[in-house]
Amino acid sequence: MSVPYETAYEPPESPEPHSPEEHLERLLGRALNSFDLPDEVIRRLDSALAHDSSLHSAHHSAGLHRETYRHTWLLADASVLTLWELVHNTAPGSAPTYEVYADEEEAGVATSRLPLPPDPPACERTVTLHMSADPGPRHMYVPDDSADHARRLLRRAENPDGDLPGEDIARLLRAAFAHQITQAFGRPGLSGEARLSFSLYEHAFLLFDGGEISLWEVEHTLTPDRRHMCEVYASEEAARAAMERRAKDAAAG
């Protein structure tokens, strides 16, 4: 039978080391081909600030196994670098062998060359798991006190309907490491929008695990004293809908 689920997908040497440096040292130390990694990759990893590891794919059958792990580092320049670790055995019950690659395609080629048993008999099941790789960051982030920026943005929001981003989003933003602010433009042709001084901004945040999250800020002067008012939404759609409502209300008044 296949390796049980509760033991088949444990990362090598779990739990992981606490620091990015220790994690990288152990990863390279156990890999048979670590000397093949480009020097530029090793130099970039010298500036690693945080890391995350996850299982990418696994195959267990007839005493043979192979797993591919994705190891991702967040670097000081706010970019993300990924190494692919292949773990396998070449005979049932033999000790695992570790290989590391800087390119997912290279890891896939190495995986395809591994010996695997023929189609298993009816009494045996092959367990295969595939997960799609996360896309890279969409923005050019600037490392800064980004978690505090997110708190201040939410604190100054004056959403009239009280529909602020929820606590789950605020909790995620506590792990923000870098951010970028860009101006987006509203839908053309909204009644009164141009003369009412609307602005729409995307505040994009990069998290320590490599994830991204955005808050959308609507700034306008639809106040009794014509002062600037800030509203914050969790999606661009919600922010644009708020702009449209404010513009229509002003046109009707």
Host domain of residue 202: 142-252
Residue 202 and residue 94 share a domain: no
Q: Which amino acid is at 170?
A: A
Q: Which of 177, 171, 225 is nearest to 205 (CA)?
A: 177
Strand order in the sheet with 142-143: 142-143, 176-184, 199-207, 212-220, 229-233
Domain closes at, from 99, 130, 161: 130
pLDDT-flagged residues of the chain (< 50):
1-11, 14-17, 118-137, 186-195
- The pLDDT score that the predictor gives to residue 90 is 77
**Within-domain flag for 247:** yes
Residue 160 and residue 76 share a domain: no
Residue 211 and residue 108 share a domain: no
Task: Write out pLDDT tens, residues 178-197.
Answer: 888 887 754 433 444 444 56
Tell how strand 97-101 and strand 127-130 pair up.
unpaired
Q: Which residue has the tokens 């190891």?
A: 71
- The pLDDT score that the predictor gives to residue 62 is 74
Domain closes at, from 130, 165, 184: 130
Number of independent structural domains in the chain: 2
- The pLDDT score that the predictor gives to residue 177 is 86
Task: Write out pLDDT tens, residues 133-174.
Answer: 444 445 777 777 889 999 999 999 988 877 889 899 999 999
Residue 213 and residue 159 share a domain: yes
* The Cα angle at residue 224 between residues 221 and 228, in degrees rounded to 5: 25
Residue 158 and residue 47 share a domain: no
**Within-domain flag for 137:** no
Residue 64 and residue 147 share a domain: no
Residue 9 and residue 36 share a domain: yes
Count of alpha carbons within 13 angstroms of residue 143, beta-carbon side:
11
- The pLDDT score that the predictor gives to residue 4 is 34
Residue 236 and residue 149 share a domain: yes
CB 180 within 8 A of CB 201: no
pTM over 0.85: no
